[in-house]
Amino acid sequence: CIVRNCPIGLGEPCFDKLEAKLAHAMLSIPATKGFEIGSGFSGVKTMRGSQHNDMFYAKKDGSLGTKTNNSGGIQGGISNGETIVFRIAFKPPSTIGSDQTTVDFKGENTTLAAKGRHDPCVVPRAVPIVETMTALVVMDAALTQLGRESASKKYQVVGKVKKSAGVKRNGVAGEERQAKRKK
């Protein structure tokens, strides 16, 4: 799945990481068994940390970009403005036309034959579901960010706190220590 033009700064560095929210949403889709973002599992196997780093650079228009996108557009849980790239693995459907061995409610071996119409592959039906779940996650993160920005504008700090204000060492406040040092 690819997400282009995702705003910079969506997500959190700890519990609400954007990639964690995407993974949660994708793994909630029935038949999903795997999730990887950016270079994913192949990057873990074949790359060193120094190779995997997405180095920032200044673009000609003055904005920041990364030279590579091994992180899949998310670094430290927060979108970085690059294209978000992730992949999902789906298991094959377990309901098939041939008989399967199983155990009945009495604990005895038996066979079970599925009847009815069943999809041989979930992927064609999964694509719009993945796209929709992705849009929901990105929009939810955008609304969370919008709420945070609105709250910070409404509840601005009244005054500035001096760097050492209120911090006492050996019973002496920061301003007093600085005044003594100047003497």
pLDDT tens for residues 9-64? Answer: 999 999 899 999 999 999 999 999 999 999 999 888 888 888 888 999 999 998 88
Closest alpha carbon to 1 in 84, 67, 121, 101: 84
Measured in degrees and rounded to the nearest 5, phi and psi for residue 181 equal -65, -35
pLDDT at 112: 86
Domain range spanning residue 19?
A: 2-175
In the DSSP assignment, the letter for residue 160 is P
33's CB contacts (< 8 A; 6+ apart) are: 89, 90, 91
Number of domains the chain is built from = 1
Whether residue 16 contacts residue 74, with contact meaning beta carbons closer than 8 Å, is answered with no
The CATH number assigned to the domain holding 147 equals: 3.60.150.10
